[in-house]
Structures are given as C-alpha cells and as structure tokens.
Amino acid sequence: MTLKLRAGVYTAETEYGIALLDEDRDQYWTLNPTAAVVVRALLDGGGAEDAVRELTAEYEVDADSAGRDVRELVGELRAAGLVEEDTRRGVRGRSS
C-alpha cells in the first residue's frame, strides 16, 4: 500500500506533528506525533510495514499494536478522502 495525498490536500509541519490541509473542502486535520510518523513513512513511498517499523523504532510499542494503529489511521484518512492509492511504480518522495 503506497499512498499519496488527494489533489488539493497538503501537509504542514507543526510543533506537535503534522496538519493536513484540504483546500477543496476548507478543512484541516491535526495529527499527533505518532500519526505524523506513520503519514511521513507512507507519503515517502513506504508501505504499512515501513510505517510499523518507523513507529516501533521511535516509540515503545510492539509491532502488532503498531500494525493495528497504522491500519486504523489509514482507514480514517481514506474515509476522510485525504489519501488515495499511489499506483505509480518506483516513486518515492513526499506527495505534497
């Protein structure tokens, strides 16, 4: 699963984590530091496994819990219409 931000959605680094700005809907979401780690890993071209690895390296959390958290966050981001599958092959780098 490689994700990209939907067109019209941008990231902004904050002191606390990341904000996702949806210009089309005039809304924004603030993500805490752990969610920011996941989003950065996914937007940098990594998959869910990469996001889990980043979480377990940075925080005291086991891989099973981190995996559940990653799946839940991705589900919430999709439900909000903020991200979509990046079908381009071999693309790495932030999509903002």
Domain extent listing, the chain: 3-84
Say if CB 41 and CB 93 are below 8 A apart: no
- Tell me what percent of the residues of the chain surpass a pLDDT of 70: 91
User: Closest Cα to residue 39, out of 69, 7, 79?
Assistant: 69
Distance CA 87, CA 67 (A): 22
CATH class of 3-84: mainly alpha
Question: pTM of the predicted model, to two decimals?
Answer: 0.84
pLDDT in tens, 15-44: 999 999 999 999 999 999 999 999 999 999
Phi, psi values for residue 79, rounded to 5°: -60, -35
Distance CA 16, CA 72 (A): 20
* pLDDT band at residue 87 using 50, 70 and 90 as cut-offs: confident
pLDDT in tens, 44-78: 999 999 999 999 999 999 999 999 999 999 999 99
